[in-house]
Amino acid sequence: MAKTPIRFTLNGAETGVFADPGASLLDVLRREAGDLSPKQGCQQGGCGACTVMIDGTTHLACLTLAETAEGARIDTAAGLAGGPDLHPLQKAFIEGFAAQCGFCTPGMLMAARALLESNPNPTRDQVAEAISGNLCRCTGYEPIINAILTAAAELRGRAA
Amino acid sequence: MSITVETYPSLREAARAMRESTWYLGGGTLLMRGVNYGAQGFDRIVRTTDAAMREIHPEGGGIRLGAGVRMAQVMAHPDLAFLAPVARSVGGPAVRNMATVGGNLFARSPFGDFTTALLALDASVQMAEGPALPLESFLSGRDRQRGIVASVLVPRPSQGAFRFAKVTRTRPKGASVMCIAAHLPGGGRITNARVAFGAMGATPLRAKAAETALEGAGPDAGGIQRALDVCLQGLDPQDDAIASAWYRREVAPVHLRRLLLGEER
Ligand SMILES: Cc1cc2nc3c(=O)[nH]c(=O)nc-3n(C[C@H](O)[C@H](O)[C@H](O)COP(=O)(O)OP(=O)(O)OC[C@H]3O[C@@H](n4cnc5c(N)ncnc54)[C@H](O)[C@@H]3O)c2cc1C
Ligand code: FES
Ligand code: FES
């Protein structure tokens, strides 16, 4: 079966891949583009482990037909750190024990990043709402919510 | 199974490409589940990049929503404040960035919350070709139709007359035990009420006996009692992982009462 060429910007880098017909963006990112940060959990929208940003808003890569990403700007958790410097969200997750097994973490980070970009000073409830599509089997969510609030404060401090 | 994907620049061309064993791609939140899990019975996906599919604009006394409009777009639009809580009740944030108005028309129970609201608002459905259909007739023939929905026209409710409640097991998000949408024009006495239930049948359904019972009723416990007594007529809830049909029947009048009286849930 003929593959379809698709081009997009992945974490700032021009990227071209060949997708199988019907392949999801998740398949293409992991298998063709070699970005293993979005995780494959349920493949049906239920877990959020595959959350990426497409043109600035969160999408579930497992439910995104790869072809629809043609020309898009895609950001994944792999693009959060600037070289050795971790993003404040990553630091807060590590320091606050918000990652245990880590499987949900890349999706949580992207959901949190999208929230903080549109709302730099969220309430606890707004954070809970922002990660409501992301399941975590380990932490009980509280450390994740705390870490996001800590990172939000850190980012506001930098902006000030 | 191998699938071909065809992308057309205009809705017209996409509509012409539809035939048996073809699925039209909206936001993909339901369709791609099928693809990922090897759903049978289709081998083509048709999509369009037509920008008109994502437009929202006023028309007469209503608002026209392109079938490709996302839930997140509805939430952000200044003219759609009455539908924002409905759109916000669909899935989590990422799902709302993807899920379309058109796709919601085809969602099976327990999904279809947005469509339930549209049903109570007397919305109509415009296919890519052919005349507009009342949403209720569209839904009754939904599973046989092959074409592409272009847009829905939503009459604007009178101030404060539209209400929506979604009952879930988990918060802040979850699939419907049921959802209820009501349009109650008339201020003092209710006239021409619309009451629609989601997750109480294969498609969202109007509770017509309750609508009739509300005609001329006052918005108080006595006035609405008859509507509560008859609200299950014509509904056909199913057992699923969220709730049994029995439970749904038991609690439907309770949730309808709370909605009609504006009680705390
Ligand atoms: C995690 C999760 C949570 C969810 N929660 C909810 C919820 O709370 N409430 C709810 O109502 N739904 C929910 N859904 C279901 C779904 O996301 C929504 O119903 C959504 O609106 C479907 O739209 P879509 O654009 O993604 O549809 P698609 O997946 O693109 O399409 C669904 C079906 O409709 C057909 N279709 C789509 N657009 C058109 C069109 N314009 N013309 C003709 N046919 C068309 C497709 O061919 C397909 O058969 C959830 C889904 C997931 C994955
Ligand atoms: S893998 Fe995409 S939501 Fe679970
Ligand atoms: S840390 Fe294990 S799933 Fe969240």
Structure ipTM: 0.97
Is the same domain home to B167 and B151?
Answer: no
Is the same domain home to B124 and B190?
Answer: no
Is the same domain home to B134 and B205?
Answer: no
Is the same domain home to B174 and B232?
Answer: yes
Consecutive 10-residue runs of chain A (160 residues): their mean pLDDT? 92 97 96 98 97 98 97 98 94 98 98 98 98 97 98 93
CA A52 to chain centroid, in Å, comes to 4
Q: Which of A58, A95, A31 is nearest to B99 (CA)?
A: A58
CB B195 within 8 A of CB B122: no
CB B171 within 8 A of CB B82: no
B201 CB-contact burial (10 Å; exposed 0-12 / middle 13-18 / buried 19+): middle
CB contact under 8 A, B93 and A129: yes
Residue B183 maps to a domain = yes
Of B155, B184, B202, the position where a domain reaches its end is B155
Q: Which ligand is nearest to the CA of A98?
A: 3
B9 CB-contact burial (10 Å; exposed 0-12 / middle 13-18 / buried 19+): exposed
CA A10 to chain centroid, in Å, comes to 12
The verdict on A86 touching B (C-beta cutoff 8 Å) is no
Is the same domain home to B128 and B200?
Answer: no
Report yes or no on whether pTM surpasses 0.90: yes
What is the rounded radius of gyration, in angstroms, for the C-alpha atoms of chain B? 18
CA–CA distance, A152 with A148 (Å, rounded to integer): 6
Residue B68 maps to a domain = yes
pLDDT at B10 over 80: yes
Residue B246 maps to a domain = yes
Is the same domain home to B189 and B220?
Answer: yes
What is the rounded radius of gyration, in angstroms, for the C-alpha atoms of chain A? 16
Counting the structural domains of chain B, the total is 3
Is the same domain home to B17 and B103?
Answer: no
The verdict on B3 touching A (C-beta cutoff 8 Å) is yes
B225 lies in which domain range?
A: 162-260
DSSP per-residue letters across chain B: ---EEEEESSHHHHHHT--TTEEE-SS-TTHHHHHHTT--S--EEEEE--GGGG-EEEETTEEEEETT-BHHHHHH-GGGTTTHHHHHTSS-HHHHHH-BHHHHHHPPTT--HHHHHHHHTT-EEEESSS-EEEHHHHHHTGGG--S-EEEEEEEPPPTT-EEEEEEESSSS---EEEEEEEE--STTS--S-EEEEESSSSS-EE-HHHHHHHTT--SSHHHHHHHHHHTTTT------SS--HHHHHHHHHHHHHHHHHT---
B16-25 residue pLDDT tens: 999 989 999 9
What average pLDDT score do residues B135-142 get?
96
Q: Which of A28, A52, A25, A24 is nearest to A38 (CA)?
A: A52
Of B155, B171, B205, the position where a domain reaches its end is B155
Is the same domain home to B40 and B56?
Answer: no
pLDDT at position A159 is 85
A34-67 residue pLDDT tens: 999 999 999 999 999 999 999 999 999 999 999 9
Split at pLDDT 50, 70, 90, the class of B7 is: very high
Is the same domain home to B42 and B72?
Answer: no
Length, in residues, of chain A: 160
Ligand 2 atom nearest to CA at A46: 3
Enumerate domains of chain A plus CATH numbers: 4-79 (3.10.20.30), 88-159 (1.10.150.120)
What average pLDDT score do residues B241-253 get?
98
Task: Give which of A25, A65, A113, A119 to mutate to test B binding, by max B Cβ within 10 Å.
Answer: A65
B220-232 residue pLDDT tens: 999 999 999 999 9
A38 lines ligand 2 (CB under 6 A): no
Nearest CA to ligand 3 atom 4: A136
CA B147 to chain centroid, in Å, comes to 18
Residue B239 maps to a domain = yes
Is the same domain home to B74 and B88?
Answer: yes
Is the same domain home to B106 and B185?
Answer: no
pLDDT at position B265 is 66
Of B155, B181, B198, the position where a domain reaches its end is B155
CB B6 within 8 A of CB B45: yes
DSSP per-residue letters across A67-80: GGGTT-EEE-GGGS
Is the same domain home to B142 and B196?
Answer: no
B58: preceding bond cis by omega (within 30 degrees): no
Average pLDDT of chain A to the nearest whole number: 97
CB B183 within 8 A of CB B121: yes
pLDDT at B185 over 70: yes
Residue B265 maps to a domain = no
pLDDT at B1 over 60: no
CATH number at residue B189: 3.30.390.50
Give B-chain residues touching A64 at CB under 8 angstroms.
28, 32, 98
Residue B31 maps to a domain = yes
More confident residue, B64 or B158: B64
A77-88 CB burial, b ≥16 within 10 A, e <16:
bbbbeeeeeebb
Lowest mean pLDDT among B107-111, B179-183, B218-222, B239-243: B218-222
pLDDT at position B172 is 82
Ligand 2 atom nearest to CA at A48: 3
Pull the structure tokens for residue B16. 């012409």
What average pLDDT score do residues B225-247 get?
98
pLDDT at position B188 is 82
B88-136 residue pLDDT tens: 999 999 999 999 999 999 999 999 999 999 999 999 999 999 999 999 9
Which helix H or strand E contains A54, and what residues bound it? strand A51-54
- Dihedrals φ, ψ of B258, to 5°? -60, -40
